[in-house]
Amino acid sequence: MSRVELSARYGKDSAQQFDSRECQNMVPSYYETGTGKGSYKYSSVWGYEHVEEIGRGDFFHGSYVVQPNKYSSSERLFCLNGLDLYEVFSNGTSTLRATLTGFINSDAIVRFADNGLVMCIVSGGGDAWFYDLSSASTASLITDPDFPSTVIDVVYIDTYFVWLEGRGSGNRIFISDNYATDPANCVNALDFTVAESQPDNAIRLMVLNGELLVFGNTTIEFYYNSGNVDFPFDINKGVTQNIGCFSPNSIVKMDNIIVFNGKTSASNNGIYVLSNYQLQEISDKYIVQALYGYSSTKMSSISLKEDFSYFYCFYLNNLMYCYDFSTGLWSTRTQENALGVTVPYGSRISSSFFGYNYFFSTAIIPINTVSNIFIQKKDIYTTDEVTNNTTLAPIEKINISRKLILPNISQENKNIQINRFEMDIQKGVGNVDDADPEISLSMSRDGGMTYGNARALKIGASGAYRGRVKASMLGTARDAVFKIESDSPVQQEWFCAYIDYEVMDE
């Protein structure tokens, strides 16, 4: 029998009939050679469960983790739903800490930073607040007359909050007073600078390795603390990058690197990693193809940590594209709700807190807007979805739908007789949710354009480890493609496939 590697990609090639490979809701990883199990292993994505309904009629605007400080010996997780600031605890429950006075657009992503004393919240539309970390309920609108009127971002570095003005107000970069805490007196109107290497539009601030980074549309500038009495941050001219950020919501900091959707004036969009002044593109042609033609406002990104793997994930059209830094491989995730409507896996807003990934999801249902908190876990094989608009919107568990389309099998355009298909897969995984789980196998005879009826193949009740997952008498084809699917809520580990076939005489 011939072994077929499970080398499917995360998406389809434009020439589908000649290369139909596809992967959905399975995470690829390299497997040890010499085991007879193939070069790759595919594992099911983690599921997530509902833990808290946090509000109705408003949208989540962001989440933020405050690191341990003088007021807390452990990290603290906050999220903003409408104008309500909640603190979220390790079990996913929450409490309302403060209600902000001011305005936030319903679709705005807010920015957060803290100096250990207060947390600064920036709406993206001009309003900003200080939340007192020593108090349970004090949040105050910043009313300092010198505060810039159209702030779109905030970071903290070297005792200063740093604020970025919006484009219409000059794109200036302001710093706060040292350890600012007073919303009525926190900034001097003359304490600013302007990004200077190129006349591009500054869109985000980040802090990396002790330097202030200013992301523009065509450049990235680095500022260091020179101690200058007039303005303490000077540009490090020798390391300016001539590539900019296409989408401000694509920027994610992960330990000592920054990942973002970058673009030069002459290039297509791509995903880049910035580390120690060096840029590396991690997108391949399929990711570039997926990004092509989308506006910057339609993209958002999060990071996930699952076991020992770190993922950079971005959303486009309800599809999540995930890059695994441990393997350098891409995969995709998506989900359907109880009504069969495609929805994003997880949420466009997340935080890693106490070893778990927390999702903050707003569901728009016929009458109400409902906001919920979910926790992602390894041994969950379902996702929780809001199903309707009743007084207490019920949460329904939806099985994760996994799909893998294998590489085409052909022999110089000759007919082949396919005698048997066998799948090397983790068996004996039945559980209380599915005592007798299965995968489905369907075959295409025209290169992946259409498929015949699916066959159900059992993968073993709990403890039934010795069974074989196979199908026989599969007929003939010139260009055969096999599709494997499963929504059984059990552990799924797929290794490789074995196909017994012979070339027919013409």
Q: What domains can be seen in the chain, in order of their start residue?
A: 2-45+401-503 (2.60.120.260), 110-242 (2.130.10.10)
Pairing mode, strands 94-99 and 84-88: antiparallel
Tell me if residue 250 falls in helix, strand or coil: helix
Cα–Cα nearest to 101, from 138, 134, 135, 66: 138
The pair of structure tokens assigned to 359 is 């999702």
Write the CA distances from 352 to 8, 63, 505, 506, integer angstroms: 29, 10, 59, 60
Rg of the chain (C-alpha set):
26
Write the CA distances from 303 to 69, 182, 215, 249, integer angstroms: 24, 33, 19, 12
Which pLDDT does position 141 carry in this prediction? 96
Cα(44)–Cα(25) distance, integer angstroms? 6
Neighbour count for residue 479 (Cβ, 10 Å): 19
Cα(49)–Cα(381) distance, integer angstroms? 10
The pair of structure tokens assigned to 104 is 């936030």
Cα–Cα nearest to 179, from 69, 100, 29, 298: 69
Q: Is the pTM of this model over 0.95?
A: no
Per-residue pLDDT of the chain (506 residues; tens, 9 = 90+): 677 777 766 655 555 566 667 889 999 887 766 566 777 889 999 999 999 988 877 889 999 999 988 888 899 999 999 999 999 999 889 999 999 998 888 888 899 999 999 999 999 877 999 999 998 788 999 999 999 988 999 999 999 999 999 876 678 999 999 999 999 999 999 999 887 767 678 999 999 999 999 999 889 999 999 988 889 999 998 899 999 998 999 999 998 999 999 987 677 789 999 999 999 999 988 888 888 877 777 788 999 999 889 999 999 888 899 999 998 989 899 887 767 778 889 888 999 998 899 999 887 766 678 889 999 999 999 998 876 655 555 678 899 999 998 888 888 788 889 999 998 999 999 999 999 999 999 999 988 889 999 999 999 899 898 888 999 988 888 888 999 999 999 999 998 888 888 888 66
Cα–Cα nearest to 474, from 408, 423, 422, 420: 420
Cα(205)–Cα(31) distance, integer angstroms? 39
Which pLDDT does position 391 carry in this prediction? 52
Which pLDDT does position 380 carry in this prediction? 93
Count of residues in the chain: 506
Which pLDDT does position 17 carry in this prediction? 61
- The secondary structure of residue 505, as a DSSP letter, is P
Which pLDDT does position 260 carry in this prediction? 96
The dihedral built from the CA positions of residue 421, 424, 427 and 429, taken in this order, carries a sign that is negative
Cα–Cα nearest to 295, from 314, 320, 269: 269
Cα(483)–Cα(489) distance, integer angstroms? 19
Cα(140)–Cα(490) distance, integer angstroms? 48
